[in-house]
A and B are shown apart, each in its own frame.
Chain A
Amino acid sequence: MILRRAGTYILLTAIALAFVGPFLILLSAGLKPADQAVFSFPPDVIPRPPVLDWVIEAWTAIPFPHYMWNSVIYVAITVPAYLIVSALCAYPLAQMRFRGRNLIFFAILSTMFLPGEVMLIPRFMVVSQLGMADTFAGVILPGILSAFGIFLLRQTFAGVPREIVDAARTDGCHELRIFWHVMLPAARPTLAILAIFGFISVWNSFLWPLVVLKDSAKYPIALGVAYLAGITGTDVRSLAAGTILSIVPVVVVFMLMQRHVLEGMRGAVKG
């Protein structure tokens, strides 16, 4: 029994190493001093001694802090907008009866069948025609509507007992007040999950900003790292350091919120 359990843990750890290993290799390369080889047989992974030279080099070789700041702005605008738009749309879908409800529902549903890759070119055309090519707005606006968010919130709102909503309505409560004081508090856990997922996806977004942006001063961090990787002569150590640095915010948020993220995924699948 004990032996079996030990075997299970060895297997679990070996698999964990396969998932974390590539990041550890990056971390090791990013901390190695210049006179220690990055690649060797057998691998020599412990930096002797660990140095921060490459972190500093990555930080200055490209406008790294600026890209990080851009990503913060993209997240700070996109995520709240996405939560509000999703919640506003989900409320009537869940709690009101009106003509065209199914039509709106299917319109939102259909966006799931218009994947980003297919929409890339026509959406770029539309954004250009609106004069939003190479702007923050052009990066942000197309990413706000999410069928996933609307579905999850619609489901949460539908779970709010009708009696509560009707009681509020007969008391003469304005719909906006019901939305704000009854619905949103009831959906707090769902909103938290959507916020975390939204943060992760905006922070990591790559393809759409790549297409919309010409001016590198507006790059989010993922594009910044790709840019750093594309510069010939970038030292492998400083590329490693920069890459690790770029994922720190997401990894930290994920570690702190992992319970919500993993529980939230389970809730989403069941829905």
Chain B
Amino acid sequence: MAATRMPGQRWYTPYLFALPALVLFGVFFAWPAVTAIQLSVLHYDVVSPPTFAGTDNFTRMLGDERFWKSLLNSVLFLVGMFPLLVVLPLLLAVLVNQKLPGIRTFRMLYYLPVVTSMVAVGVAWEYVFHQQGVLNWLLTAFGLLDQPIQYLLDPFWALPALVLVEGWKSMGFYMMIYLAGLQTIPTSLYEAAKVDGAGAWVRLRRITVPLMAPYIAVAFTMEMLDSMQAFTSIYVMTRGGPQDATLTLGYYIWSAAFEHYEMGYASAMGLVLWVLMIGMALLNHRINKGQAVVA
């Protein structure tokens, strides 16, 4: 609006300020987004020039067992991470929301895995999952296991093991989201409930969860997007194995593109992943309409 233009501000001033961001947007977001769509209808192996593929890449997906397997594994990731990232962090947040000496230190320790690299976390958990490692020792010592398990080499246990690692790494992050929400709830509500004789469980069910609904919705959306993108833990710990047990869509796309140089096919799968993620975000937004607090 011309009316608010002041000395020193020409019509192009705002655009100049935004220019670096706009250039980066054009080069590293808009251009690749168009490229992604182009690539998905091409056969391209990087070495020879691309040829038009029409819908080949998409029909190939339909008959590709590994694609369906990876999609299933991604969904299992999503389902498995739900309790770890949406439910447990709320309980953790309630726990660390108490006014106790030293509580900040505990919050910090719970957040520690969030700031460390997934590579380091993956390596650390390989030691935990080792046949003679601490997890097997704990489970056998408590009589829950007869024989130690090689979690990462076992087609049944490898995926749950990775879900545990990914969930463990991000739990502190989700806890902090919930903590921010909890601190907006007036303590007088809890005190009144206590006077009325409501126990801890009732207070959680009747006060905390309803008032935290918008935060739970945000956590759920983020959990879906996070779990669909799991990659580094898989790269470090299992490489998609054993027998494709931990082959997720994200890992399959990377592998198709950068191990087998099937850029077209990988891009087509990338588009499917993208549509899935957008669809889930929209669906979740619809369900929680008007509740989300974060964009």
- Interface of A toward B, CB cutoff 8 Å: 5, 8-9, 11-12, 15-16, 18-23, 25-26, 29, 38-43, 84-86, 88-89, 91-93, 96-98, 100-101, 104, 107-126, 130, 141-142, 144-145, 150-151, 166, 169-170, 172-175, 177, 179, 200, 203-204, 206-207, 210-211, 221-223, 225-226, 229, 236, 239-240, 243-244, 246-247, 250-251, 254-255, 258-259, 261-262, 265-266, 268-271
Q: Is B108 an interface residue (CB 8 A)?
A: yes
Q: Is B35 an interface residue (CB 8 A)?
A: yes
B95 touches A11 (CB 8 A): yes
A/B pair count, beta carbons within 8 Å? 295
Shortest Cβ distance from A96 into B: residue: B14
Given the known inter-chain contacts A98-B15, A125-B39, please indicate yes or no for A269 contacting B181, CB distance below 8 A: yes
Q: Is B144 an interface residue (CB 8 A)?
A: no
In Å, the complex CA distance between A194 and B183 comes to 22
A117 touches B100 (CB 8 A): no
User: A8 to nearest B CB, angstroms?
Assistant: 7
Residues of A close to B235: CB separation below 8 A: 206, 210, 226
Residues of B close to A43: CB separation below 8 A: 133-134, 137
Instruction: Provide the main secondary structure of the chain B interface.
Output: helix
Given the known inter-chain contacts A12-B95, A85-B21, A118-B273, please indicate yes or no for A175 contacting B13, CB distance below 8 A: yes
B28 touches A141 (CB 8 A): yes
A sample of 6 more A-B contacts (CB under 8 A), given A22-B127, A170-B6, A226-B236, is: A26-B120, A85-B24, A97-B4, A177-B8, A204-B119, A254-B112
- Looking at the complex, which of B78-86, B150-158, B205-213, B250-258 is the stretch in contact with chain A? B250-258
A114 touches B29 (CB 8 A): yes
A42 touches B141 (CB 8 A): yes
Given the known inter-chain contacts A15-B92, A15-B110, A119-B29, please indicate yes or no for A26 contacting B127, CB distance below 8 A: yes
Residues of B close to A236: CB separation below 8 A: 127
Provide a sorted-by-A list of 25 A–B residue pairs whose CB atoms are within 8 angstroms: A20-B109, A39-B132, A86-B21, A98-B1, A98-B11, A111-B29, A119-B33, A121-B257, A123-B28, A170-B7, A175-B9, A204-B115, A204-B119, A206-B119, A222-B117, A226-B236, A229-B119, A250-B116, A254-B111, A255-B108, A259-B104, A269-B177, A269-B180, A269-B181, A271-B294
User: A198 to nearest B CB, angstroms?
Assistant: 12
Instruction: Provide the main secondary structure of the chain A interface.
Output: helix
Shortest Cβ distance from B113 into A: residue: A19
Shortest Cβ distance from B29 into A: residue: A111
User: B41 to nearest A CB, angstroms?
Assistant: 13
A206 touches B123 (CB 8 A): no
Residues of A close to B106: CB separation below 8 A: 12, 15-16
A22 touches B95 (CB 8 A): no
In Å, the complex CA distance between A8 and B127 comes to 29
Contact of A266 among B112, B134, B180 (CB under 8 A): B180
Shortest Cβ distance from A254 into B: residue: B115
Contact of A206 among B4, B117, B258, B270 (CB under 8 A): B117
